[in-house]
Amino acid sequence: MSAILAVNTPSDGGVYVDPREPVLAGHYPGFPVFPGVGVLEVADQAIRAAYGADLVLTEIVSGRFLRPVLPEDTLTVRVAEQGDGFSAVVSTERGETARLQVRYRTTT
């Protein structure tokens, strides 16, 4: 489960950023933006839903945040295996918001 948003997985059609989420109140007052760590978490959930819940994130190879995620946005994630890790493209209705490359290990 998410520490930022209470969701099961982003594979259910997207993750809605509820404007009442407590994290938005302090990030940033007067211009609420969903934190980048929350975007990473949504991507992590999508990867583990697609490739195995026994995966543990070990490295963020690269992360490029392209535009802010705002209250009432819905995040969707496109995931692909890439080399020895995964790539994830996180989008909202306004277009791509982040491109990530990450590595995992299995818990077994």
**Phi, psi of 103, rounded to the nearest 5 degrees:** -125, 150
Q: Enter the CATH code of domain 10-106.
A: 3.10.129.10
Quick one: average pLDDT of 66-91?
Answer: 93
Q: Contact 76/10 with Cβ under 8 angstroms?
A: yes
> Among residues 21, 94, 93, which one has the least CA distance to residue 41?
21
Give per-residue pLDDT as tens, 8-67: 444 456 889 999 998 898 888 889 999 999 999 999 998 998 888 899 999 999 999 999
Looking at residue 6, its pLDDT comes to 41
pTM equals 0.85
Map out the domains of the chain as residue ranges.
Answer: 10-106
